[in-house]
């Protein structure tokens, strides 16, 4: 497999843009990623597109805004993990020499309110079980009992996320909140409160990758390399655990081990991390699953500020899903974008380790699989 670099990345601001179309959002993200990469659109050989709610053929309607050069435009869907899946397909197509240069795009326009995860007529819906934060809440309550954590420790994740979002001009929410704000916001699925839920969002993100051997013709300076990856769905564990879908954190450990093996690195090497905090407890479960802290110590680590930008294991420096926003098809590419900014020293006020960050870790969960990516500079 060839060495592959991320040459550029760009976003359309996340938020609510009722007057903009998907091509409006997507085009701006692509323009920003192409500008950042130095790659002209006509050099792009394939486009992989992460999108969930947009209709048939949405990728072509966005990508063809830039020209009709005859490239394949392939839509990938893995729910909230769609655009890291698109990234992985693009990465493999370049690493294996099928293409030299690829564009990855993620976009979404979402309705307001909680995401509807099951059909309105389904058993899960009629029975009131298809409540998105419920799986996180169920896991959180058990965690609190087993590890002596408090509800405030989960709330603190959201405080930290909003503080970071306030430093990110592309974030949906750019205002800090207090722990009281978080704990006093209305309860959705106890112990998860409203301010511990990621919002519904419109937005787009794009990434340009290319074979490292071709990078010099476009850009010089520090570049982010794709060092490791893993993807897999929830494997049934015969202990009787029946958790499914996004909160299946038992999966993370198995997958991150595969990613570390590919990268030749380990959790002790990580400088900056993006995790899937669709709901605040997610950050705690994820940093444990990823091996950044021992199991049972994640909540305390957040409480102690270790996941802050200036902490020893900075997590979701751009505000994460909670504050940057979570336009489901675009989230994965936004995660990649933030890690690239951190590894190239371009994260501005959000920069970790004084610009001396060289290993970035990404965990993006979906339905059909979770993606782990390791980027290095």
Partner 1 sequence: MNAAAETTKGQSEDIRPLSAGQFIAAPTPGERARLRGARCRACGETFFPPRRYCAACTSGEMEDIELPSSGSVESFTIVHQQLPGSAMIPPYAIVNVRLGAGPVVQTVLREGHEMLELDDDVALVVETVLNEDSHSYVAFIARRLAGGSKEEGK
Q: Which of 148, 236, 310, 348 binds partner 1 (CB under 8 A)?
A: 236
What is the token pair recorded at 125?
A: 């819906």
Q: Which of 57, 253, 349, 355 binds a copy of itself (CB under 8 A)?
A: 57
Nearer to partner 1, 169 or 240 (CB): 240
For 90, how many CA atoms within 13 A lie in the half-sphere containing its CB? 37
Q: 130-158: buried (b, 16+ CB within 10 Å) or exposed (e) per residue? A: bbbbbbbbebbbebbeebebebebbbbbb
Beta bridge partners of 107: 204
Q: Which of 4, 22, 30, 71 binds a copy of itself (CB under 8 A)?
A: 71
Determine which one of 12, 162, 276, 326 is catalytic.
326
Contact window for partner 1 (CB under 8 A) among 126-134, 309-317, 352-360, 361-369: 126-134
Smallest gap from residue 44 Cβ to partner 1 (A): 9
Residue tagged 């409480």 (tokens)? 303
Residues 6+ apart with CB under 8 A from 69: 41, 42, 44
Calculate helix-pair angle for 134-147, 281-289, nearest 10 degrees: 70
Tell whether residue 68 is a contact of a copy of itself (CB under 8 A).
yes
Q: Which of 125, 185, 233, 300 binds partner 1 (CB under 8 A)?
A: 125
Residue tagged 């959705």 (tokens)? 188
Radius of gyration in angstroms for the set of CA atoms belonging to the chain, rounded to a whole number: 19
Q: Which of 3, 96, 123, 213 binds partner 1 (CB under 8 A)?
A: 123
76 binds, among partner 1, a copy of itself, none (CB under 5 to 8 A by kind): a copy of itself
- 71 near 133, Cβ under 8 Å? no
CA-to-CA separations, 85 to 26, 149, 305, 336, 367, in angstroms, rounded = 18, 33, 31, 12, 11
89 binds, among a copy of itself, partner 1, none (CB under 5 to 8 A by kind): a copy of itself
Smallest gap from residue 47 Cβ to partner 1 (A): 13
- 84 near 364, Cβ under 8 Å? yes
17-76 residues near partner 1, rule: CB under 8 A: 27, 40-42, 64-69
| Per-residue mark of binding to a copy of itself, 93-122 (x: CB under 8 A) | x-xxxx------------------x-x---
The CB density around residue 338, as the number of other CB atoms within 10 Å, is 27
Told to judge if 197 belongs to the known catalytic residues of this protein, a careful annotator would answer: no
Determine which one of 80, 197, 210, 333 is catalytic.
80
Q: Which of 22, 94, 130, 339 binds partner 1 (CB under 8 A)?
A: 130
Omega cis (within 30) before 11 = no
The CB density around residue 92, as the number of other CB atoms within 10 Å, is 16
Told to judge if 326 belongs to the known catalytic residues of this protein, a careful annotator would answer: yes
Catalytic residue list: 80, 326
Binding residues vs a copy of itself (CB under 8 A): 1, 49, 52-53, 55-57, 59-60, 64, 67-79, 85, 89, 92-93, 95-98, 117, 119, 231-236, 251, 254, 366-369
Binding residues vs partner 1 (CB under 8 A): 27, 40-42, 64-69, 113-114, 116, 120-121, 123, 125-131, 133-134, 137-139, 141-142, 145, 186-192, 236, 238, 240-242
């Amino acid at each position: 497999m060839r060495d592959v670099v991320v040459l550029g990345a760009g976003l359309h601001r996340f938020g609510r843009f009722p007057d903009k179309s998907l091509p409006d959002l997507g085009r701006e993200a692509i323009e920003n990623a192409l500008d950042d990469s130095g790659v002209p659109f006509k050099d792009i050989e394939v486009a992989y597109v992460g999108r969930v709610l947009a209709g048939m053929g949405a990728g072509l309607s966005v990508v063809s805004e830039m020209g009709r050069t005859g490239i394949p435009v392939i839509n990938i869907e893995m729910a909230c993990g769609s655009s890291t899946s698109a990234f992985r397909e693009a990465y493999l197509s370049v690493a294996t020499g099928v293409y030299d240069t690829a564009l990855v795009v993620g976009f979404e326009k979402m309705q307001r309110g909680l995401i509807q995860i099951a059909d309105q007529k389904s058993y899960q819906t009629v029975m009131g079980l298809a409540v998105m934060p419920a799986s996180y809440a169920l896991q959180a309550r058990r965690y609190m009992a087993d590890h002596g954590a408090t509800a405030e420790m989960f709330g603190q994740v959201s405080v930290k996320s909003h503080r970071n979002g306030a430093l990110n001009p592309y974030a949906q929410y750019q205002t800090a909140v207090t722990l009281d704000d978080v704990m006093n916001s209305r309860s959705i699925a106890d112990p998860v409160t409203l301010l511990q839920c990621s919002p519904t969002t419109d937005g787009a993100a794009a990434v340009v990758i290319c074979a490292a051997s071709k990078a010099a013709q476009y850009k010089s300076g520090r570049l982010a390399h794709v060092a490791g990856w893993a993807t897999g769905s929830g494997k049934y564990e015969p202990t009787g655990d029946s958790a499914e879908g996004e909160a299946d954190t038992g999966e993370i450990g198995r997958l991150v081990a595969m990613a570390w093996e590919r990268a030749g690195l380990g959790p002790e090497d990580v400088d900056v991390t993006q995790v899937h905090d669709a709901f605040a407890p997610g950050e705690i479960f994820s940093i444990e699953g990823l091996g950044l802290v021992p199991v049972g110590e994640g909540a305390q680590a957040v409480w102690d500020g270790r996941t802050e930008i200036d902490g020893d294991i900075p997590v979701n420096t751009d505000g994460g899903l909670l504050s940057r926003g979570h336009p489901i098809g675009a989230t994965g590419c936004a995660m990649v974008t933030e890690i690239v900014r951190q590894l190239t020293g371009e994260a501005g006020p959000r920069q970790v380790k004084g610009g001396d960050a060289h290993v970035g870790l990404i965990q993006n969960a979906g339905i059909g699989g979770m993606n782990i990516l390791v980027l290095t500079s």
